[in-house]
Structure 1
Amino acid sequence: MSDTVRNDKDLHDRLADRITSQADEHASGARPHLRRSRAGLGRTRGRGSMAAAVESGAEKILRAIEEAEEQLHKHLHDVSKGVRIMGENHARNDKNIETMLNSIVNTSRKQDKVRDGGGIGKDRFDPTKEPHTVTLEWKPGMPKQAFERKAKALQRLGEEGQLFKFKGKTKDYRDSSLTAKYKGALEALIRRNHKDDPEFAKEAAEAARKMEPDHINELQTGGPDAWRNLRMLDHFTNRDIGWHQIRPQIRDLPDGNPIRIDIKWWPDD
């Protein structure tokens, strides 16, 4: 890749912001469908944290996790822009959260430099190659709203030419501490937000702990290993889409090959 592409941080940030805004836009748009999706989950075989919360009627837990993650992204955006989110007279817990946020932002910046520095793989699709269609399929056990949000976000990215076969192994371009820090900050925010109800705070934090920070745009399809590309997702949906659906369908593609997404919906719709 050229030095111009490699060092154009403004372009990189604009693309990354677009990924985040698209995911957030879909998350907001999907909210009217949450009740229908949640009701349907009782008919699935899933036992992930999200499904378990729904099946037990813990709507409040789901809302607490969703609201805390929205808050986390806003805080991380502010920190990345140099804005302090905590007051000078913050309590010890707030200071711990601020430390976590700074660590997440710094780790993300380091990962951006690793990727932009070259030697990892192409950071854009190869327009000389025909797009390859990857089919994503809902399976029993997947929370339908979670699958829909993930699949549609990838579909939009594909339509915009932002999905492609990334060169090499994702383990060579990933800092596992980032997702651990992200989840830790989310749990801390949940506990702080509900400190007046410690039993509920504990229950909601434990539910969030059983979920996973998912890369909205998969690393294997060119997504950045950065906070702006993370959203919580249940374990089964995350692993199945990434490892059992996308990976085998793109394994033999040439590096940089564009990818498009087709969605196969559930049979009862």
Structure 2
Amino acid sequence: MSDTVRNDKDLTDRLADRVTSQADEQESGARPQLRRSRAGLDRTRGRGSMAAAVESGAERILKAIEDAEDQLHKHLQDVSKGVRAMGENHARNDKNIETMLNNIVNRSRNQDTVRDGGGIGKDRPDASKDPHTVTLEWKPGMPKQAFERKARALQRLGEEGKLFKFKGKTEDYRDKEITKQYKGALEALIRRNHKDDPEFANEAAEAARAMQPDHVNELQTGGPDAWRNLRMLDRTTNFDIGTQQIRPQIKDLPDGNPINIDIKWWPDD
């Protein structure tokens, strides 16, 4: 962290408040998805021994996700306290995990400086242009809850005026180490949390490894390349929505053009 940030208390406090706010947003976005997943499990209860075994395993995985979300929120709160205190550390965390998480936070901050203040098409939309509607369509092979969570999040961001055609090539802006280390930290947390049950730890870690960290607000629609904008998503939904659906619908738009989202369920709404 620069000496400027260390010595400017007002700037430090604003940064801490921003991180705390992001922690609250992260937690509030995670809980409804977990509740919906559990509601789906409730509909299958009592349908035989095979269903019971599946339910039991799925419940454990959902609990592991919930615990990881709690830890992520708490870590953000710790980062906020650490920024204000300038010297407090995270001694209660495993050192390896702490190092990975701090690397992710620092790289995300660096990415924010690249985008912030960049002007129309970088950090804000062009308010003089009419919004362009992008249609997101569920297709067979996509987990319905995963598609709905992703599509609804984008729809909400569009309604809030936070979606727009990003200026330039996203690959020139993206730091791939953020998603790589995010995924690594998640796996490390799973293994640490379930070290007394290595078989389950391996199963849960493998399931997480098969998924991808997804930018909830796509980089191509103005989303930050920061860990606070990441959520794990299945590969099929992630690739199809970002590459097969959004990209061809916005590639010819002017930089900064606002975007709204319409959601369609295949074959009929």
Indicate the TM-score class for this superposition, using the shorter chain for normalisation.
0.7 to 0.9
Aligned-partner Cα distance in 2 for 1:86–1:10: 22
In structure 2, the CA distance between the partners of 1:72 and 1:25, relative to structure 1 (3 Å rule), is closer
Aligned-partner Cα distance in 2 for 1:101–1:23: 15
* 3-state SS of paired residue (1:136): strand
Indicate if the aligned counterparts of 2:213 and 2:231 stay in contact, CA closer than 8 A: yes
Corresponding residue of 1:109: 109
Indicate if the aligned counterparts of 1:16 and 1:229 stay in contact, CA closer than 8 A: no
In structure 2, the CA distance between the partners of 1:103 and 1:25, relative to structure 1 (3 Å rule), is same
**Structure number with bigger Rg:** 2
Corresponding residue of 1:233: 233
Aligned-partner Cα distance in 2 for 1:15–1:134: 30
Q: For 1:219-257, what per-residue CA distance to the aligned partner results, in whole angstroms no more than 9, with x for missing partners?
A: 000000011111111111111110011111111100000
1:33 matches 2:36: yes
Corresponding residue of 1:181: 181
How far apart are 1:141 and its partner, in Å?
A: 1.2
* Larger RCO (CA within 8 A; separation ≥ 6): 1
* 3-state SS of paired residue (1:148): helix
- What residue identity is the alignment partner of 2:137? E
TM-score (norm 1): 0.79
Q: For 1:174-195, what per-residue CA distance to the aligned partner results, in whole angstroms no more than 9, with x for missing partners?
A: 0000000000110010011111
Identity of aligned residues (%): 72
Aligned-partner Cα distance in 1 for 2:251–2:208: 31
Structure 1: stretches of 5+ with no match in the other structure: 1-7, 41-53
Q: For 1:164-219, what per-residue CA distance to the aligned partner results, in whole angstroms no more than 9, with x for missing partners?
A: 00011100110000000000110010011111111111111111011111111100
How far apart are 1:118 and its partner, in Å?
A: 3.5
Indicate if the aligned counterparts of 1:211 and 1:233 stay in contact, CA closer than 8 A: yes
1:150 matches 2:150: yes
Indicate if the aligned counterparts of 1:72 and 1:185 stay in contact, CA closer than 8 A: no
1:165 matches 2:168: no
1:242 matches 2:242: yes
Aligned-partner Cα distance in 2 for 1:265–1:16: 36
Corresponding residue of 1:135: 135
Indicate if the aligned counterparts of 1:37 and 1:145 stay in contact, CA closer than 8 A: no
How large is the Cα RMSD of the aligned pairs?
A: 3.3
Corresponding residue of 2:125: 125
In structure 2, the CA distance between the partners of 1:17 and 1:243, relative to structure 1 (3 Å rule), is farther
TM-score (norm 2): 0.79
Q: Matched residue pairs, number?
A: 245
Aligned-partner Cα distance in 1 for 2:153–2:213: 15
Indicate if the aligned counterparts of 1:120 and 1:173 stay in contact, CA closer than 8 A: no
Structure 2: stretches of 5+ with no match in the other structure: 1-10, 44-53, 83-87
Indicate if the aligned counterparts of 2:117 and 2:123 stay in contact, CA closer than 8 A: no
Aligned-partner Cα distance in 2 for 1:243–1:20: 28
Aligned-partner Cα distance in 2 for 1:38–1:198: 25
Indicate if the aligned counterparts of 2:131 and 2:259 stay in contact, CA closer than 8 A: yes
Aligned-partner Cα distance in 1 for 2:266–2:110: 40
Indicate if the aligned counterparts of 2:19 and 2:77 stay in contact, CA closer than 8 A: no
* 3-state SS of paired residue (1:231): strand
